[in-house]
Each structure stands twice: as C-alpha cells, then as structure tokens.
Amino acid sequence: MARRCEVCGKSTISGNKISHSNRHSRRVWRPNIRNVKAVVNGTPKKLHVCTRCLRSGKVQRAI
C-alpha cells in the first residue's frame, strides 16, 4: 500500500528515537493511510488517503 496521501501529500518522515539514557537510533513515522472509495470529479475512485484528510472533510466518501 502506498505510504503517501493522495490528497495532501503526507508521507513518511524519519528522525531519531531517543532513549531515556539519550542514545540515538533511527526511526520512521508513518502516516495513518486508509484505502477509501471517494468521489473525484463526480465519479467514485479508490484513493490512499490519510485519516486527517478524511476527518477534516477534504475527501467526500462514495457509498
């Protein structure tokens, strides 16, 4: 499944995981992506959309 939202473009970002003893190791934050059927230009289409776009109403779901 794609790791990028097709509406807002949100994708994975990387950084450091920092332990209590301040040791650094690499880690990845992934967006919460859902495969939904949405209305695009009046026709239903399957999209990979993050849950933030679903919740904010940027995507109109098709039934």
Look up the CATH number of the domain holding residue 44: 2.30.170.40
| Containing structural domain, residue 28 | 1-63
Task: Please give the model's pTM, rounded to 2 decimal places.
Answer: 0.79
Residue 63 banded pLDDT, cuts 50, 70, 90: confident
Long-range Cβ pairs for the range 27-34 (8 Å, 24+): 30/3, 31/3, 31/4, 31/5, 33/1, 33/2, 33/3, 33/4, 33/5
The tally of domains found in the chain comes to 1
Q: What tens digit of pLDDT does each residue of 11-52 get?
A: 999 999 999 999 999 999 999 999 999 999 999 999 999 999
